[in-house]
Structure formats: C-alpha cells, structure tokens
Amino acid sequence: MAVCKYARASGSRYFKGEAGFSYGAAKDESYYGFEGHVLISFAGIICGYAFAAANVDERDVLPEMIAGLHGLLIGDKGYILPSLKQELVPQGIDLQTPLGKNMQDLRPKAFVSQLMLSRRLVETVIGQLTERSHIEKVRARDTWHLANRFIRKLLAHTMGCFLGKLMGNPTLLFESLVEV
C-alpha cells in the first residue's frame, strides 16, 4: 500500500515515522508505505491480519497473526527460514513453504502440489482484495483511518464469503451474490 512514490517520500508529511520504504516486485518499483498481511483458512476466509510499515519483515509480524493457532501453516517463500520453523514447533505449528529453485525438496510430490494449490487460494483472496476492494489504495492521512479502512475491506470480504456460503455457493464466488 504505497503512500507515495519513492521520489516524493522525503517531501511527504503523511505517516512520518510510521510508514517505511520497500520494493514491490509486482510493479517493479520502490515505494513508501505499508504492507498488509493476511492469514486465511482452507476455505479462503480471512482468519488473521497484520498491518505494518513496508520495511518490516513479514517474519516479524507472523507471531502477532498466529497467536492461539496450531496445526498446518502454509506460507510463501518469504517465510523460508529453518530457525523460524523450529521456533513454531513448540506452539504446535507445522510451517510449510514452497522451496526456492536452488533448494532440494525431499517432501512427497503430492504434498508439494497440494501446497501449491493452497498458495493459489491465497493469491485468489489477495487478488479479490486488490481488484474488488482496492485495498492497496491509500486514501487516509493518518494511521488510525488507514488501519480502519484496511479492516473494513477485510470485513467486507468475510461478509462476501459468509453470504456466498448462505446461498449455497462456493466461498470465494462473489459474482453469484449480485444478479444482473
């Protein structure tokens, strides 16, 4: 969530000391702003979130998001860190990530393909938040309003999942909620 372009950040008076600098590979640009992190269930329902400056490592916000959870946790390649995986074992969390191309994967092929399908589900939810809710747009001048806007977008997504389920549709099929 870019507050402004990299070149304009030094002159920006909004979010001083709260936002951070980062690089967005998807848009191939550096920016000044925030990152939103989401935790979803296997049905695509958002179960947890974190909101942090863009320069904060995603591994640093993970403990805030997983408090009280246990079981299988699937993360992206940013969570590849053997010590992090070992830290989560006493909490009853099995962290699984896709490995890099230069890493040897000893896990069964069926498990890895299921892991990649689950990652696609995460990308679907993020895509819905981006395309439908425009969650990456920053239309606030302070952190309180920005965080509340972020939370409202997550709540709207959860309500869409709930209403779809009530109608007997797949959880993430929002097109069926509105008839033309």
Is residue 69's pLDDT more than 90? no
Is residue 32's pLDDT more than 80? yes
| Domain coordinates in residue numbering, the chain | 2-69+105-171
CA pair distance 8, 11, nearest whole angstrom: 6
Task: Report the percent of the chain where pLDDT is more than 70.
Answer: 98
Which pTM was predicted?
Answer: 0.79
Q: Where are the beta strands (DSSP E) in the chain?
A: 2-5, 20-24, 29-40, 46-53, 71-74, 93-96
**What is the average pLDDT across 124-146?**
86
